[in-house]
Amino acid sequence: MSRNERQLGSTYNDLAVLSIVPVAVAVLTLASWILAHWEIGPVFVNAALAIGAVIFGGFQRFVSGFKDAFKRKITVNVFVVVALLATMAISEFRPAAVIVFIMAVAGALESYTLDKTRKSIRDLLDFAPSLATVRRQGEEVIVPVAELLVGDVVVVKPGARIPVDGVVIAGASSVNQAPITGEFMPVEKFLGSSVFSGTLNESGRLDIRTEKVGEGTTLARIVHLVQEAQGTRAPIQNMADRFTTWFLPAVVILAIGAFVMSGDVKVAVSVLLVACPCAFAIATPTAVTAGVSNLARRAVLIKGGIFLELGHKITRLLVDKTGTFTFGRPRVEGIISLNGKSPEDILRLACIAEKYSEHPLARSILTAGKERKLDIPDPEQFESATGMGVKSRWNSAKILVGKQTFLQEAGVTIVPRVDREIVKQSAQGRTAVLVAHNEEVIGLLAIADEIRPEISKTIRLLKTMGVERVTMLTGDHPLVAEAVATAIGVDDFQAELLPEQKQEFVRKLQAEGHVVGMIGDGINDAPALALADVGIAMGAAGTDVAIETADVTLMNDNLSGVADFMWMSAKVMRRIKLNIFFSMIYNVIGLTLGVMGMMTPIIAVIFQEAGCVTVVFSSTLLLWAKRRTVSV
């Protein structure tokens, strides 16, 4: 069965379950009306059927209403219970049953709509396969994913979904990571790459050593985090609670006044029913739920409604440099010739010397060689000095690659021109790696942490969204920090900071009255992330510390997710206010008509439930909202 067929079947099942109560209430109410209309049987039988419809359809509301009343909490359910009891007290059993039927239909519609909002996230779990091919005792066997253990080697063929979080130990492929990062462009995976459950292996075979299974996978934790966030309350929700606390006594007084003026109990009951603040009560949670779901599909996870309320209020944004403004990986940014050799020759000799090295700078040099499609033979001899450089021999010549002091200790003469070039590169925030051939410096490789290309544009966008200043925080040397800050266009920077100093800087800004957002990688930035008003972990796919510490988690490496978060925060707050406006309009119009005696109890309920449905659909529209791209 296809995924679409399963979803269609699930939709029909959901509708069937939600229809049980309204259908049962409708049948009982119709039977009561038929017996009364044609005067079949004793009167108490048709009355009993109507009462049965009220009890069956309104049982949960009665239970919740009485519980809230005993706790001295004035809630929507208390309103409903008071109104229904008043309706039945005047022997209007069938009208009471009709009222319950209308509420049941509206409640089913609301539940179905809201469940669709949550289901869009729960469906992510469908991406994780239930079976896996695992290598055991030299054979490949198919087992349920639930039986997999950490350390198992899972084989994933082209076109199959990856069932576990793990590391590639053999093979290479392109993997679509959309369920995790929101990015639909495939990512190349090879030896040592991390992969995630639910992602799609598109081309080659992969052998994966299992690191996490079941509830421990990144995909499962995403779903859990979103469901948890959808259940939390935004502080603005407290306004609804305070409103209903004083609103019921006021409505009761108004209903009594309406009865005194009209002399008709039905008018008083209509006032109670139409005043039920159901729409007001759901104005906030429905909008928050839709907003959280929308962002989750964009790979932006939020821990609760409070952060949606705070997001658009951020005035100072602090950003860790490494892994946020930059990729956190060194890259050869320039090749300077110092004796007339071509840049390709200098780089080729450096690659030969570094071919067996595991140092990050060596990997960046080799990457540059591969990008230029250079032929890189094996060195004849290789020797590494930890943290200093490497000595190699190839084609009967000695090659040295490393720091200035390393070359000097090996007998290489450093001329003034080399010193000037090293100072020049340092002023640009680059690391200078010298290349010597037969004890003569032939060139210099300028290596720096690669800046993300979209950063400058995103910072300008965030400025248009209310951020007053963007400050870069880093543990790097001030010269490196200044070079990166200038290239990116941040307002200022703080260099040579330890984790506790970053946290102290957050505290200082908060003391000045700023709402502080902190963006980091979730590990060394954890103290600052935890203290900030909104802590944002970037590029956190698979990083436990980031997901646990941050209030907002960007599962991909794109800082534009922060703009999405702030935009959605503002949009959700506007939608909440719009929902409250809708609910108040319905209440004011309904109360006015009710006091004037222009409503029956049934019409009052229809009018009140129309307000609830309006609010639900208003919030549901947030599911499909998209941030408009603007030129900055």
Segment 349-361 mean pLDDT: 89
Across residues 475-482, what is the average pLDDT? 79
CA dihedral (307, 308, 314, 317) positive or negative = positive
pLDDT tens for 138-175 read 899 999 998 999 999 999 999 899 999 999 999 988 88
Q: Does pLDDT of 267 surpass 50?
A: yes
Helix 237-262 with 265-274: angle, nearest 10 deg? 170
The model's pTM is 0.71
Fold of 327-451: Calcium-transporting ATPase, cytoplasmic domain N (3.40.1110)
Which positions ≥6 away from 72 have C-beta within 8 Å?
A: none
Give 520's DSSP letter: E
Residue 429 in this model has a pLDDT that exceeds 80? no
pLDDT band at 237 (very low <50, low <70, confident <90, very high): low
CA distance 63 to 86: 17
List the single range of 10-14, 200-204, 327-331, 452-456 with lowest mean pLDDT.
Answer: 10-14
H/E segment holding residue 202: none
Letter string b/e over residues 115-151, b meaning 16 or more CB atoms within 10 A of that residue's CB? eebbebbeebeebbbeebbbeeeeeeeeeebeebeee
Tell me the C-alpha distance between 449 and 426, whole Å: 13
Does pLDDT of 244 surpass 80?
A: no
CB-count exposure of residue 184 (10 Å: 0-12, 13-18, 19+): exposed
Helix (H, G, I), strand (E, B) or coil at 383: strand
- What percent of the chain lies above the pLDDT cut of 70? 86
Domain with CATH 2.70.150.10 in the chain: 129-216
- Outline which parts of the chain fall under CATH 3.40.1110.10: 327-451
302-339 tens-digit pLDDT = 887 788 888 999 999 999 887 788 877 788 989 999 98
Looking at the DSSP assignment, which residues form a beta bridge with residue 131?
144
The pLDDT assigned to 236 comes to 56
Q: Which of 68, 152, 207, 320 is catalytic?
A: 320
Residue 3 has pLDDT above 70, yes or no: no
Half-sphere exposure (CA, 13 Å, Cβ side) for 261? 13
Residue 492 appears among annotated catalytic residues: no
> Distance between CA atoms of 354 and 435, rounded to whole angstroms?
11
d(CA 286, CA 43): 43
**564-608 per-position pLDDT tens digit:** 999 999 999 999 999 989 988 998 999 999 999 898 888 888 888
Phi–psi pair at 15, nearest 5 degrees: -65, -40
pLDDT (average), residues 340-361: 90
CA distance 397 to 534: 57
506-564 pLDDT per residue, tens: 999 999 999 999 998 755 677 888 888 998 988 655 456 666 677 888 887 788 899 99
- Give the whole-number percent of the chain exceeding pLDDT 90: 34
Which residues touch 361 (CB under 8 Å, ≥6 apart)?
A: 330, 431, 433, 447
pLDDT in tens, 48-67: 999 999 999 889 889 988 99
* Closest alpha carbon to 547 in 210, 213, 220, 199: 220
- The token duo for 26 is 């409708």
Q: Does domain 129-216 have CATH number 2.40.50.140?
A: no
pLDDT tens string 481-512: 888 888 888 999 998 887 788 889 999 999 99
Mean of all residue pLDDT scores within the chain: 84
pLDDT by residue (tens digit) across 74-127?
777 787 788 788 888 888 888 888 888 877 876 776 666 556 555 555 555 667
- The answer to whether 316 touches 515, Cβ cutoff 8 Å, is yes
